Amino acid sequence: MNFQLILPLLVQTVVVISIRKIHNSWIHPGVFFPLLWLLYSIGPLLFASDYYIQPYGLWIITLFISAVGLGSLLSTNAIDEQATINNNFENSFKDYKPVLFIAVFITSIFAFIGVGLVLGFTMNRFQLNFSIFNLLMLPNEISVDRYLEILNFPIYIKFFRYWLFPASLLAGLAYPLARKIRESFLCFLPLIIAILFGLMETSRFTIITTVVIWYAGVLGARIVLQENLNKFFDKRSKRFFLFASTLFVGLFILLDWLRQAQGELVADLVLERLKAYLFGYLAAFSNWVTMIHDGNIQFGQSTFAGPLSLTDIVERKFGSYGPILIAGDLSTNIYTALRGLIMDFSIIGTGMIMILIGWFGSITYKNVMRGKLFFLIPLTLFYAFTLYSPLISIFHYNSLIMSWVILAAFLLLAKPIVQNFWNKDGFTRIVFNQ
């Protein structure tokens, strides 16, 4: 491996270890972003070393993760690092368990209704009857129309589909509270529904974003409960991600097969596409950032394309960027969320924003530890953005942003319920039949 590529990784490693030692937690925002991007940098170099990866791109990433770490240090005196959870009814997260599980159940039911509505609508659209053969043909039909941008679901179907992402966020928050099998199953239900959507629409986006939002919720709950903060994965999360990683590879191959209308699968071609999807982002970003000469600043039009599209300031396009060669004749259009930030604010501007992210992320982390639950909104949003950042900004999709709008509404509505039923066992017995 080229020493020019190793050197920025060594600097990143030193930054991560130093910040981790200060904050004493792998999931502190000032550590989490640098750690994730260190892993995101190492992965392609290990498993896609034949891709065109430019050292300059790695140094830009090193600059950004250092800025986040620096920003997190600026807030160390703002709130006591050893903050503890208050045990009164206003701040005790465990008291939200009954209401939270009810919310997960209701939103998951809405999302599941969406599965049935999408199935019925598309079967009718393509004039297919319900048979095994037609159900296998349906994903290819949907995929073709989706890429041609001629598939538009009625508003009532969109309404139910959009509940999948709020259900995932709420389920992630509930998962560390689950103590029984039926509670754990309810927390995994949005992920199962996402797989059903993904299989019908041959969409990796739905599955990946659901997992990302779900795990962002898990991290938020772990912080408010102060569980295993010195570990990146707790035991349950470790088992989940080992299973999820294996499942993702299987689903990737299955979705490719469904997109081709059950045509012949060529192993080498499938593996090449899988490799490009998982590791092509670093080559794409590093080559793009090395070649850019346009100094035009877009002031958020790329990173926040979703919300801005509602104001007619930005016209959001299907497929945000054009492809770039990453190896031989192999190309990809996945450039990471960092490209959007640089296009919007320049390299220097993005570095300053990263300092602010590290500073504010540290403050939200400490407030969540104190039991201030509304700070879960920006904190889980930070985790979701970071987890999804090798692909693109999550602010590209209004359906994802609605998850945090629903979370805010839930916290507002749930607080008086928790207060009214504070220290009363009857409500819990009614909900869980205990």
User: How do residues 146-197 score in pLDDT, each as one tens digit?
Assistant: 777 788 889 999 999 999 999 999 999 999 999 899 999 999 999 999 999 9
Per-residue pLDDT, 318:
52
The pLDDT of residue 45 is above 90? yes
Backbone phi, then psi, for 218, in 5-degree steps? -60, -45
Per-residue pLDDT, 257:
66
Average pLDDT of the residues in 212-220: 95
- List, in sequence order, the alpha helices (H) in 24-54: 29-47
The pLDDT of residue 382 is above 70? yes
Q: What is the CA radius of gyration of the chain?
A: 22
DSSP 307-371: HHHTTTSS---SSSS--EEEETTEEE----HHHHHHHHHHHHHHHHHHHHHHHHHHHHHHHHHTT
Question: pLDDT, tens digit, for every residue of 122-132?
Answer: 999 888 888 88
Contact assessment for residue 183 and residue 228, using Cβ atoms and an 8 Å cutoff: no
What whole-number distance in Å separates Cα of residue 426 and Cα of residue 430?
Answer: 6
**CB neighbour list of residue 12: distance below 8 Å, 6 or more residues apart:** 34, 37, 38, 41, 61, 62, 65
Q: Which amino acid is at 388?
A: Y
User: pLDDT-based confidence at 302, cuts 50/70/90?
Assistant: confident
Per-residue pLDDT, 103:
95
Average pLDDT of the residues in 8-23: 95
Question: pLDDT, tens digit, for every residue of 220-243?
Answer: 999 998 887 777 777 777 777 777
What is residue 128's three-state secondary structure? coil
Contact assessment for residue 209 and residue 167, using Cβ atoms and an 8 Å cutoff: no
The pLDDT of residue 246 is above 70? yes
What whole-number distance in Å separates Cα of residue 403 and Cα of residue 415?
Answer: 18
The pLDDT of residue 376 is above 60? yes
Percent of the chain scored above 90 by pLDDT? 52
Average pLDDT of the residues in 258-266: 58
The pLDDT of residue 209 is above 60? yes
**What residues form DSSP beta bridges with 327?**
330
Tokens representing 295 are 């100094």
Contact assessment for residue 164 and residue 114, using Cβ atoms and an 8 Å cutoff: yes
- Closest among 302, 384, 314, 307 to 343, alpha carbons compared: 302
User: pLDDT-based confidence at 72, cuts 50/70/90?
Assistant: very high
pTM score of the predicted model:
0.89
Tell me the domain boundaries of the chain. 83-345+373-432
DSSP 156-183: HHHHHHTTHHHHHHHHHHHGGG--SHHH
User: pLDDT-based confidence at 140, cuts 50/70/90?
Assistant: confident
User: pLDDT-based confidence at 380, cuts 50/70/90?
Assistant: very high
Contact assessment for residue 371 and residue 379, using Cβ atoms and an 8 Å cutoff: no
